[in-house]
Amino acid sequence: MSNASSKIRFKQRVRDWATKLDVRIAWLGVRPMQNKWASCSTEGHLNFNVELMEMDEKVWDYVIVHELLHFFVPNHGKLWKSLMRAHLGEYEAYEGALKKRAQTLTPPPP
Ligand SMILES: [Zn+2]
């Protein structure tokens, strides 16, 4: 699978989730990032780390839903956790996979 086609599939997945969660995306980017997997702004700007393209689609869902929920919930509190659970089930496993992967990158994302 080439990086270009996984980028297309990744972006489509972001748009599918955005429709499902009723989030309006103004900008969607995939690019190299030094110290995080993704970022979002209140103006609807979303950027994802290109390193994600090499990871499992289950991990994509985790990062995508994680960011999209921040349009409604700015923190990782009780509400955010219950929404993550509702959409992804046992999402903590993917959190672990990302942390593991982060350790292999230089410099490592948090
Ligand atoms: Zn977050």
Instruction: Judge whether 108 lies within some domain.
Output: no
Measured in Å, residue 77 CA sits from the centre of ligand 1 at 10
The 3-state DSSP class for residue 18 equals helix
Report how many helices (DSSP H) and strands (DSSP E) the chain contains, helices first: 4, 3
Tell me the CA–centroid distance for residue 1 and ligand 1, in Å: 28
Q: How far is the CA of 9 from the centre of ligand 1 (A)?
A: 22
Structural domain harbouring 25: 3-102
CA–centroid distance, residue 3 to ligand 1 (Å): 25
Contacts of 98 (CB under 8 A, 6+ apart): 37, 55, 59, 62, 63
Give the pLDDT confidence of 1-47 residue by residue, as tens digits.
567 899 999 999 999 999 999 999 999 999 999 889 999 887 889 99
CATH number of the domain that residue 7 is part of: 3.30.2010.10
pTM above 0.85, yes or no: yes
CA of 12 to the centre of ligand 1 (A): 21
pLDDT beyond 70 at 109: no
Q: How many domains does the chain fold into?
A: 1
Reported as a single tens digit per residue, the pLDDT across 44-89 is: 899 999 999 999 999 999 999 999 999 999 999 999 999 999 999 9
